[in-house]
Amino acid sequence: MVATTRWRRATVPALTAAAALTLTGCLQNPDAGSGGGVGAVGAEPEEGDGSVTIFGAFGGAEEEQFNASLAPFEEETGIDIQYVSDQDFTNTIQVRVDAGDAPDIGLFPQPGGVLDLAERGALVPIDAMLDYDAIDATLVNGFLDSARYDGRVYAAPMRMAVKSIVWYPKQAYDEGGWNTEPADLAELSDVAEQIRSQGDTPPWCIGWQSDQATGWVGTDWVEEYMLRLHGPDVYDDWIYHRIPFNDERVVEAIETYGELANTDGNVLGGARGILNTPFAEAMNPAFADDPGCYLMRQGNFATGFFPEDIQANLDEEIGIFVFPPAADGFDGQPILGGGDLAAAFEYDTDVAAVMEFLSSDEFGGPWAQAGGWLSPHTTFDASLYPDETTRQIAEMGYTADVFRYDGSDVMPREVGSGSFWTGMVEFQSGDKTAQQVADDIENGWPQSAEPTDEEGEDQ
């Protein structure tokens, strides 16, 4: 079945534009003509057969909303999209590639898998089939570079997550008269001090307990401080191991988190309580008539763990503000986040059209209206979000001076979901100092994961 709509027709101009970018040396992607992969800039795609397979981890209600978001495109183009879900996507996609059974498009929840398959030459660079500059112009600043390997980008964001959010119980917090827009970390510390001074209630709600994954919440805190204290360039050098993990700036970020978490009376349950409190229950005490704590730093997915009555009346029950910058650190507001990335294993006209749609600001309307999805495009129609809280969260990402992907999701698995997690638990428990933890992680960094000169760099 041949599609005759603008999505199908747009493929050829996009290819032409990509070729032109290579010839003119575009600032965003000057090395588009180099690097591995199975797609060459300017090469003509094969003719599609009217069907595109997509493999991802979206299941249940998310799968329904994903398919609903694709339905208008399928009707317009005549392309039949077959989506398959697998909760063990990260491992299964590797097995399928090894077996020669890769889908046409994979939806990666983390860039690490993209970078690994790009290194193996299994993926088509997006500049081979899409207009790189056009996509980058509407994306949250810095998002596109999360999947850059050896000078080329191998995946395009199709979903955004924002992590740099501070949540508070709106009515109780407003009654306290505390600052709802702290300008920097010092003002945020002032808020905590004011809450402590007005009674015995600790300001912060923090929980790490996550069974075998305990520790990931701590890695997020360190990443937040790395961005604020030292900026995105140092952050990139750190997560791609262009500086050692035990660099003094990394140690400083761990210690700065420790100053917040381990100050007496600053966190409900104290330092030990952080490790024993399930992350999904961390803020529940804040919703009591007499709150047990007030502030929680956590990503936008946290709403799914709030009590049902809170979720049903989010705008009235919850207040939010962005985790602020450091006054003497990076000059701007950084946002730590994540998201899902679409990467192509095949290069034909149908795959190119689907990739263009997934990576556009027109994808995701039904999913946005249902809740639980944020577009990574600043030009997305924000009126489609279901409540004001969600619109505020999206705006945090859209107005950020720089966006950076969760660093532990980029690091080698042995570190990002291994020694970094366990090291933060050792630090939080008091068994090791920040320096000892950083030294251990550096000493265990896998040699096989050393980056190329250009991996992860902004071009």
Residue 56, beta-bridge partner list: 85
Same domain, 21 and 112: yes
* CA dihedral sign, ordered 279, 285, 286, 287: positive
* CA dihedral sign, ordered 140, 141, 142, 148: positive
CATH number, domain at 311?
Answer: 3.40.190.10
Torsion, Cα 351 355 358 362, to 10 degrees, reads -100
Query: What average pLDDT does the chain have?
Result: 90
Establish if 448 belongs to a structural domain: no
pLDDT above 90: residue 199: no
pLDDT band at 33 (very low <50, low <70, confident <90, very high): very low
Stretch among 43-47, 312-316, 370-374, 428-432 having the lowest mean pLDDT:
43-47
Q: How far apart are CA 139 and CA 157, in angstroms?
A: 8
Establish if 421 belongs to a structural domain: no
pLDDT band at 377 (very low <50, low <70, confident <90, very high): very high
Same domain, 107 and 173: no
pLDDT band at 365 (very low <50, low <70, confident <90, very high): very high
pLDDT band at 29 (very low <50, low <70, confident <90, very high): low
pLDDT value, residue 24: 29
Percent of the chain with pLDDT over 70: 88
pLDDT band at 449 (very low <50, low <70, confident <90, very high): low
Q: What is the mean pLDDT of residues 228-236?
A: 97
Establish if 441 belongs to a structural domain: no
Establish if 263 belongs to a structural domain: yes
Establish if 207 belongs to a structural domain: yes
* CA dihedral sign, ordered 22, 102, 374, 183: negative
pLDDT above 80: residue 450: no
Same domain, 324 and 370: no
Q: At what angle do helices 420-428 and 434-443 cross, to 10 degrees?
A: 160
Establish if 192 belongs to a structural domain: yes
Split into its structural domains, the chain has a count of 2
Same domain, 285 and 380: no
pLDDT above 90: residue 135: yes
Same domain, 157 and 169: no
Within 10 angstroms of residue 101's Cβ, the number of other Cβ atoms is: 9
Torsion, Cα 141 142 146 148, to 10 degrees, reads 120
Residue with more model confidence, 442 or 142? 442
Q: Which residues of 240-276 are buried (b: 16+ CB within 10 A; e: fewer)?
A: bbbbbbbbebbbbbbbbbbebbbbebbbbbebebbbe
Same domain, 202 and 271: yes
Same domain, 290 and 143: no
> What Å distances lie between residue 99 and 90, 93, 95, 113, 363, CA to CA?
15, 10, 6, 16, 31
Nearest alpha-carbon partner for 269 in 278, 194, 214: 278
Same domain, 219 and 185: yes
pLDDT band at 451 (very low <50, low <70, confident <90, very high): low
Same domain, 22 and 145: yes
**Domain stops at, among 290, 306, 335:** 335
Q: What is the mean pLDDT of residues 440-454?
A: 78
DSSP 173-223: HHHHT--SS--SHHHHHHHHHHHHHTSS--SB----B-GGGTTHHHHHHHH
**Domain stops at, among 381, 399, 417:** 399
Residue with more model confidence, 20 or 122? 122
Q: For strands 105-108 and 51-56, give the pairing.
A: parallel
Q: What is the mean pLDDT of residues 65-76?
A: 97
Domain boundaries, position 46: 6-162+338-399
Tell me the whole-structure pTM to 2 decimals.
0.89
Establish if 429 belongs to a structural domain: no
Establish if 187 belongs to a structural domain: yes
pLDDT value, residue 6: 47
Same domain, 11 and 158: yes
pLDDT above 80: residue 376: yes
**Domain stops at, among 289, 311, 335:** 335
Same domain, 243 and 210: yes
pLDDT value, residue 21: 31
Per residue in 248-302, pLDDT (tens digit) is 999 999 999 999 999 999 999 998 899 999 999 999 999 999 999 999 999 999 9
pLDDT band at 40 (very low <50, low <70, confident <90, very high): low
Same domain, 101 and 196: no
Stretch among 64-68, 84-88, 394-398, 451-455 having the lowest mean pLDDT:
451-455
